[in-house]
Amino acid sequence: MNTIHIEASKPYDVIIGKDLDMGQLLESAVSPCRTVLVSDSNVPLKYRQKVVRSIRNCGFDVCTMVIPAGEESKNMETLEGLLEYMADCGLTRTDCVIALGGGVVGDLTGFAAGCYLRGIKYVQMPTTLLAAVDSSVGGKTAIDLMAGKNLAGLFYQPEVVLCDVSFLDSLPEDVFACGLAEAIKTGVLSGHELFDRFSRPDIKENIAEIISLCVRYKGDVVQRDEFETGERKLLNLGHTIGHAIEKLSGYEIAHGQAVAMGMAMMARSAEAMGDAPEGMAETIEKVLTANGLPTDCEYSAGQLAQFALNDKKRTGDEITIVIPAAIGECTLKKLPVSELKDYISAGISK
């Protein structure tokens, strides 16, 4: 078992291991109370039952809610349903909610926790690789609006993140690959120690260690810049184009795949524009492809730029993009919004 402490405005631990005793670990972070455990239709029933049994044995009074799997659930209607259910279950200020699922469940549940009664406790129990390496850590919570992804949300840290890697065993290959996209992104940001792991054949055998490396890197960034005024923007590598791809596809293209496309396209653009050295794009593309991830999309630079400009990464007439200058050395670049289309175009036409 590996414990990574995150000294955010509200400090908490991320605990990573196999076959964790969820009840006991939960109890050491949150006193037994009433709780709503939220998961989605992709989370196998046996995982939900195992967690519910374990936390009930430790004195928690548990109600459960299962939402339909997929980005379509990350909306105002599901949020309202969850908040009403929390009220029906009689949750008070000393109670908590638990997110047992992937990024959608975690983002939605965290947001509900942050606004219910002006904020109650919540706990993340990621069941996808994407949630384990990225979305369950760092306190970003949100729902999507018609205008774009994650446009309503809060920075709101959990009480604890309990990551049981045995939950990843049943993930379909494409869902696992989506998590690898975020993990590879963290490798591009943090350096060769992590990045080089994705060229090896033993990724699954070492997944707990890979998750720990990702969480340690992200935790350090969050500690320094929890509210994303600077350095944390680096974690958006591939996301400006990625979010546009997701939205343009009507969320048919999954987040991880879109991030992989966005990262590769941004690397090609940066190289073409002289912001990254020759070979950078190929290095990233090779690793993405080897891990079953796409590196291109069917949308035009004009379409991508238009949707990217609705993204919250825009400030006034500028948008901040993340440039992979080298493995372990990414930089932020402010672009006038009028130049974004040409910048993206440079990565498409090559």
Residues carrying an active site annotation: 118, 140, 182, 218, 228, 232, 236, 239, 243, 255
Binding part of the chain for ligand GLY, among 64-72, 132-140, 146-154, 317-325 by CB under 6 A, reads 132-140
Cβ proximity to ligand GLY: between 134 and 285 the closer is 134
- According to the binding rule CB under 6 A, does residue 140 interact with ligand GLY? yes
Cβ proximity to ligand GLY: between 134 and 311 the closer is 134
CB of 8 to ligand GLY, least distance (A): 12
- Its sign, for the CA torsion 337, 342, 348, 350, is negative
Cβ proximity to ligand GLY: between 235 and 293 the closer is 235
- According to the binding rule CB under 6 A, does residue 313 interact with ligand GLY? no
CB of 23 to ligand GLY, least distance (A): 28
CB of 125 to ligand GLY, least distance (A): 18
Cα 41 to the chain's mean position, in Å? 19
CB of 38 to ligand GLY, least distance (A): 20
- Residue 122: closest CA among 74, 155, 160, 92: 160
Query: Which tokens hold the place of 159?
Result: 């009480």
Alpha helical stretches, state H, the chain: 22-27, 45-57, 76-88, 103-115, 129-130, 173-190, 192-195, 207-224, 239-248, 255-272, 280-290, 301-308, 337-349
Which amino acid, 94? T
Q: Are 121 and 98 in contact (CB under 8 A)?
A: no
- According to the binding rule CB under 6 A, does residue 134 interact with ligand GLY? yes
Cβ proximity to ligand GLY: between 242 and 347 the closer is 242
Binding part of the chain for ligand GLY, among 58-66, 133-141, 201-209, 244-252 by CB under 6 A, reads 133-141
CB of 312 to ligand GLY, least distance (A): 11
> Residues with Cβ < 8 Å from 40, sequence gap 6 or more?
66, 67, 68, 69, 70, 73, 101, 102, 104, 105
Instruction: Return the DSSP state at 139.
Output: -
Binding part of the chain for ligand GLY, among 86-94, 134-142, 187-195, 322-330 by CB under 6 A, reads 134-142
Q: Are 117 and 130 in contact (CB under 8 A)?
A: no
- According to the binding rule CB under 6 A, does residue 114 interact with ligand GLY? no
- Which 199-258 residues touch ligand GLY, going by CB under 6 A? 232, 235
- Which 80-99 residues touch ligand GLY, going by CB under 6 A? none
- How do 34-40 and 61-67 pair as beta strands? parallel
Distance CA 126, CA 134 (A): 10
CB of 141 to ligand GLY, least distance (A): 10
CA angle 227, 229, 230 (to 5 degrees): 120
Cβ proximity to ligand GLY: between 54 and 236 the closer is 236
Q: Are 134 and 102 in contact (CB under 8 A)?
A: no
> Residues with Cβ < 8 Å from 2, sequence gap 6 or more?
15, 16, 17, 208, 209, 212
- According to the binding rule CB under 6 A, does residue 138 interact with ligand GLY? yes
Cβ proximity to ligand GLY: between 222 and 301 the closer is 222
Residues of this chain that bind ligand GLY (CB under 6 A): 134, 138, 140, 232, 235
